[in-house]
Amino acid sequence: MKVKLASHYGFCFGVKRAIKIAEEHKDSATMGPLIHNQKEINRLKNDFNVELYSTIEEAKEHETIIIRTHGIPKNDLAELKKNNTKVINATCPFVTTPQQIVKKMSEDKYSIVIFGDEDHPEVKGVKSYGDDVHVVPDPKSLDSLVFKYDKIATVAQTTKQKEKYLNIVNILILKYKEVRVFNTICDATFENQAATRELSSQVDIMIVIGGKNSSNTKQLFNIATENCISFLIEDEKELENKWFENKKICGVTAGASTPDWIIQKVIKKIEHI
């Protein structure tokens, strides 16, 4: 079976960078999971002795602590540094940007609107850098807000949809004298989707690799099924020969939390069918 890989798939820039940082720091610990993939977390533990901590209290003096791609709240970062741990910041640069924007805009007396989900670790981190910061998941949540200042600055969670961000921003523009709009949305998720759309229209069957509960993986799967028969798998063990009967060319893509070594195993197995 001939295999064709999507032009964009799997890890984004920020996750690749964080995993590389972890591999370069043996015997360290990450503050929060670098990625929502247990197999990759196990690999970092087994091959590089990288632990996973979920609270700052777990960090020990002089230990190397790697900050996750999503970033952590400002006070947690300060606490870690105060406690004589060696902090390596693997916060994705696309997340550091909104953190710094929120900090600067708060200093300049803007009220801040973050388009995002209150419970998302990235949003918690970004929010912590400001003074009057409001997390808004949808346009109707704007109705009840009371702002401290008369000027508004806005940022978005990096994985949100641009069109939905505009819906929120537009309401604010009509209501306030000044709205400072920072487009902090990252294209990675959408590049994977566009590449899946393109590839699935050129092949006989698509294999989408990723967590069955991962929302970005499910979105790739939905896009693929629009164009050809498609299967969602977590690893190569789930592949079934009968799927490939009478098929000539198979497209492969992977969700944002799927490590490359799993993708390679899947490709190798398909090529031998």
Answer for which of 86, 103, 180, 247 binds a second copy (CB under 8 A) is 180
Q: How far is the CB of 160 from a second copy (least distance, A)?
A: 13
Instruction: Give Cβ neighbours of residue 227 (< 8 Å, ≥ 6 apart).
Output: 197, 200, 201, 206
End-to-end CA distance of the chain: 6
Answer for which of 24, 138, 150, 178 binds a second copy (CB under 8 A) is 178
If you search the block for the tokens 């009057």, which residue do you land on? 132
Q: How is residue 211 written in tokens?
A: 């967590």
Chain centre distance of CA 258 = 12
Answer for which of 67, 102, 168, 181 binds a second copy (CB under 8 A) is 181
Query: Between residue 153 and residue 172, which ones bind a second copy under the rule CB under 8 A?
Result: 162, 165-166, 169-170
Looking at residue 84, its amino acid is N
Answer for which of 5, 88, 173, 273 binds a second copy (CB under 8 A) is 173
Q: How far is the CB of 252 from a second copy (least distance, A)?
A: 30
Answer for which of 82, 177, 237, 272 binds a second copy (CB under 8 A) is 177
Q: How far is the CB of 171 from a second copy (least distance, A)?
A: 10
Contact 251, 202 (CB under 8 A): yes
Candidates 40, 63, 122, 234; catalytic one: 122
Interface with a second copy includes 179 (CB under 8 A)?
Answer: yes
Q: How is residue 167 written in tokens?
A: 């819906």
Q: How far is the CB of 223 from a second copy (least distance, A)?
A: 21
Q: Is 245 left (phi over 0), alpha (psi -120 to 50) or beta?
A: beta
Beta-ladder partners of 235: none
Please confirm, yes or no, whether 63 is among the known catalytic residues: no
Beta-ladder partners of 115: 136, 156
Interface with a second copy includes 147 (CB under 8 A)?
Answer: no
| Chain residues that interact with a second copy, rule: CB under 8 A | 162, 165-166, 169-170, 173-174, 176-183
Catalytically active residues, by annotation: 122
